[in-house]
Amino acid sequence: MTPAATLLLLLICTDLTFILVHLVTVETGWLRGVGVSLEAERGLPETYQYIKEFWTAVGMAFLFWRTGVRSYVGWSIVFAFLLLDDAGQIHERVGVWLAHRYALPGVLGLRPDDAGELLFAAMLGTFVVGLAGLSYWRGCEQSRRTSPNVLCLLLLFAVPGVFVDMLHVVAYLQGSLLAQVLLVVEDGGEMLVMSALTAYVFHVAIHGGRARYDLWANVKACAMRPLPAFGVASWKSAWQRALARSG
């Protein structure tokens, strides 16, 4: 097993342990108040997430120092901001400010403050996608290989961090029991994806900026893969038979 794979395995095992401890705490109350819940402010799971974000930012800065590739500076700033955002709840504060400054309406069961957070997340997402595009367009071979992979993982991070988060808010406001399930999916998903990002940056760093695993190439291959012939033919023939019977 490679060093990066070993690190990933250890990180994921720690993530799953925190998730399991959270579930035990919710169901039994044994460790309530100890700070092991996924939703505990400054608790152990949240602090563990901060550590991963910190070392991911440091790893990107190290890659810039070692290779001189400027796109790593941008990615280091992105992960440093993620750390500051999580620790200082910047997106929540900006969401409140945007909601009051522009009188944002509540939509889809969300509060105006939540709409402000969505708007702020959209602005951040635009910046990150732009950074990845610039790195691919103007960057060197290393940057063109690494930046799309980081972007893929960050987009995956946004699924629990933004979309599941909004679903969790709606469920919580409605008093639904689904809120607890969505909380685990949200926080647990963020932890698992950040572990993958940390391990990937470590993988790139120990190989001098040259990643051996190309996630972006695999994503493109899956996207370009044609639909299974059996499925297409089956639907087409079924549709033709239905038309013949109706005629």
Q: Taking the chain (247 residues) in consecutive chunks of 10 residues, what is each chunk's mean pLDDT? A: 92 96 86 79 91 96 90 91 89 89 80 87 88 77 83 92 88 82 93 96 87 65 58 49 45
Q: CA-CA distance, 62 to 68, in Å (whole number)? A: 10
**Assigned domain for 95 exists:** yes
Range of the domain at 169: 3-230
Q: CA-CA distance, 63 to 202, in Å (whole number)? A: 10
Give the pLDDT score at 243.
41
Give the pLDDT score at 31.
73
What is the C-alpha radius of gyration for the chain, rounded to an integer number of angstroms?
A: 21
**Assigned domain for 235 exists:** no
**Assigned domain for 143 exists:** yes
Q: How far is C-alpha 106 from the chain's CA centre?
A: 25
**Assigned domain for 243 exists:** no
Give the pLDDT score at 89.
85
> Residue 225: CB partners within 8 Å, gap ≥ 6?
none
When divided into structural domains, the chain yields a total of: 1
**Assigned domain for 239 exists:** no
CB-CB contact of 104 with 119 (8 Å): yes
Helix then strand then coil, % of the chain, to nearest 5? 80, 0, 20
Give the pLDDT score at 239.
42
In one-letter notation, the amino acid at residue 100 is H
Burial label, 133 (beta-carbon count in 10 A; 0-12, 13-18, 19+): middle
Q: CA-CA distance, 43 to 23, in Å (whole number)? A: 15
**Assigned domain for 240 exists:** no
Give the pLDDT score at 202.
94
Q: CA-CA distance, 176 to 231, in Å (whole number)? A: 38
> Residue 34: CB partners within 8 Å, gap ≥ 6?
25
**Assigned domain for 147 exists:** yes
Q: Which tokens is 100 given?
A: 């009051």
Nearest to 73 by CA among 60, 83, 84: 60
Q: For helices 141-158 and 112-138, give the axis angle rounded to 10 degrees.
A: 160
CB-CB contact of 239 with 246 (8 Å): no
**Assigned domain for 242 exists:** no
